[in-house]
Homo-oligomer: A and B are copies of this chain.
């Protein structure tokens, strides 16, 4: 097991009616700005519940954060925060809204060019505006971590930053708020969570059996609950389990003492940046291809995964690995998510070249061995046609 530091100070208020705890969670005299997305919260009643809970508080609003939240939109919000001297943000939405709020929180008091928060990894942040979340879409785990991913339309870039300053002060998580989600978003959320877990798990067997099993716990939960959420979209417990699984998939605990990969995400981000493909779908395409490409390095963990998740007992280890990867693809497909670029209208060889060039240009390489460079990404993407 590797050395690690773990710290996660997010307060979670989980369950039916938990929005009623907002008045106690928000600071007393704050000047609040509610940030939300395309307006679905106004249709499903979440907006009204939040506004009721804010009775007597001073607050303004900023709507219109889209999926793969845009830098350009966030900058508008930053200007509003500065003008109105907002000192507490309330994200009401899914991972996109929360990621946007993290960036707004960090950029508003930032003295330099805000883009450098994303483009210069490790840049020093001295402060951020505190914020809380009301979660409406389980997927990214953003409600329980300090990561944010932002896209820039003008340059077709999608970059991330992390800082302990952008842990949410609290996250209100009411599974009932997810009853009205479109099936496409539910499927995306399940796959996003699945791949988050795998980025922290599918590397080497690192003598961290508890963390391995904690990861497998999330994966088993997703595999069991996924068909149920399709069949019974208003089943509270199923929604609750998917919501809590998403938070536990990326709250820092699974990475403790482990090697991490994240190359699937890095390639996936580029696919989204260039082609606008849903984040989760980009991951569903890349993950199985990357595993096949790296099957030697990941051999022992792939075997453990095959045995424990799919109970594949074949003595032929290579066949067991093939079957495990195929069954992972089957799982994504069962959620109506294709694992082939052609199905998204993307030409594999064009995408492979573009992403290779971008990785080369930035001189970056990802994965637990830092060997997924431009050339490797090219090879992987070419198998995803």
Contacts and interface: CB of A to CB of B under 8 A. Distances in A.
B5 A8 contact: no
Interface stretch (A14-22, A180-188, A312-320): A14-22
A244 B297 CA distance: 26
Interface string A1-37: 1111111111111111110010000000000000000
A385 interface: no
A169 to B, nearest CB: 10
Contact of A257 (B207, B211, B244): B244
Interface stretch (A56-64, A125-133, A217-225, A355-363): A217-225
User: Which of A18, A208, A237, A244: most chain B Cβ within 10 A?
Assistant: A244
A346 interface: no
A18 B82 CA distance: 41
Looking at A16, A214, A245, the one whose CB has the most chain B CB atoms below 10 A away is A214
A63 to B, nearest CB: 29
A38 interface: no
Nearest to A6: B12
Q: How many subunits of this chain does the assembly comprise? A: 2
Nearest to A236: B1
A11 B167 CA distance: 14
Contacts of A208: 241
Nearest to A210: B221
Contacts of A140: none
Given A5-B11, A11-B5, A256 B241 contact: no
A240 interface: yes
A46 to B, nearest CB: 17
A243 to B, nearest CB: 10
Given A3-B14, A7-B10, A7-B11, 5 more contacts: A1-B237, A1-B241, A3-B17, A213-B217, A244-B257
Interface of A: 1-18, 21, 207-211, 213-214, 216-218, 220-221, 224-225, 237, 240-241, 244-245, 248, 253, 256-257
27 contacts: A1-B15, A1-B241, A3-B17, A4-B12, A4-B15, A5-B11, A5-B13, A5-B14, A5-B21, A6-B14, A7-B11, A7-B12, A9-B9, A14-B256, A14-B257, A15-B257, A207-B240, A208-B241, A210-B217, A210-B245, A210-B248, A213-B216, A214-B217, A214-B248, A216-B217, A240-B257, A244-B257
